[in-house]
């Protein structure tokens, strides 16, 4: 680790919080991320960054598609917490929430959700522990008006911690 790196500096970057979903045949999965970003306007393309250890990484890699639910600030930690701190390998995360099937077949969580998007992967970049998936948006819909849940709000008001597999996790040594 370079001595000139202050990890606190990274905490000032701003993010939203999203549920990213995918499917593998009939198995559905989703996880919380703070790493959805629009990369071009014309055509509308989005990127999502996923830890290689996550089941969603496996599903997106296979199916080359993903769904995104943009959560609202009113979403309680009890609702989205399991999407961040439990693995889809031993728990059906979609069983406890409302969702619909998108045009790609990915489940789209609709509860506490402002808008949903779906994307088909056109490129992937290995960045070490994580992969950046870049996708063409193939559907997008606004479900309700409201304030988007941000990572800042999650930390300040819900006293939330980053997942161990998040790009913004700060290791304690």
Q: Does 88 bind its own copies (CB under 8 A)?
A: no
| Residue 103 interacting with its own copies (CB under 8 A) | yes
In the numeric block, which tokens belong to residue 63? 């199916």
Question: Which is closer to its own copies, CB of 70 or CB of 97?
Answer: 70
DSSP designation for 91? S
- Pull the structure tokens for residue 13: 């970057």
Report d(CA 37, CA 28) in Å as an integer.
23
Q: Which residue carries 């479900």 as its tokens?
A: 143
Which residue lies nearer to its own copies by CB, 27 or 125? Answer: 125
Choose, by CB under 8 A, the member of 19, 47, 75, 121 that binds its own copies: 47
Determine, following the binding rule CB under 8 A, whether residue 158 of this chain makes contact with its own copies.
Answer: no
Q: Give the range of 24-32, 75-83, 91-99, 109-117 binding its own copies by CB under 8 A.
A: 109-117
Stretch that binds its own copies, among 19-27, 58-66, 82-90, 137-145 (CB under 8 A): 137-145
Q: Is 64 in the site for its own copies (CB under 8 A)?
A: no
CA distances, 126 to each of 38, 63, 131 (Å): 18, 17, 5
DSSP 35: -
CA angle 32, 18, 167 (to 5 degrees): 55
d(CA 68, CA 22): 9
Interaction of residue 173 with its own copies, rule CB under 8 A:
no
Question: Which tokens sit at 116?
Answer: 């949903």
Nearest distance, CB of residue 38 and its own copies, angstroms: 5
Number of chain residues interacting with its own copies (CB under 8 A): 58
d(CA 7, CA 88): 30
Which positions lie near its own copies, rule CB under 8 A? 1-2, 4-10, 12-16, 35-47, 49, 70, 103, 114-117, 123, 125, 127-130, 132, 134, 137-142, 148, 150-152, 166-171
């Amino acid at each position: 680790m370079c001595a000139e790196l202050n990890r606190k500096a990274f905490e000032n970057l701003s993010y939203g919080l999203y549920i990213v979903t995918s499917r593998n045949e009939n198995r559905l999965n989703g996880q919380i991320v703070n790493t959805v970003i629009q990369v071009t306007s014309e055509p509308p393309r989005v990127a999502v960054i996923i830890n290689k250890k996550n089941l969603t990484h496996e599903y997106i890699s296979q199916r080359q598609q993903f769904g995104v639910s943009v959560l609202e600030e009113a979403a309680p930690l009890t609702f989205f917490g399991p999407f961040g701190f439990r693995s889809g390998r031993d728990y059906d995360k979609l069983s406890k929430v409302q969702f619909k099937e998108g045009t790609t077949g990915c489940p789209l969580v609709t509860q506490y959700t402002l808008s949903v998007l779906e994307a088909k992967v056109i490129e992937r970049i290995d960045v070490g522990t994580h992969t950046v998936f870049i996708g063409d948006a193939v559907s997008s819909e606004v479900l309700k008006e409201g304030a988007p849940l941000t990572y800042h709000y999650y930390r300040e008001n819900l006293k939330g911690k980053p997942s161990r597999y998040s790009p913004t996790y700060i290791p304690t040594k």
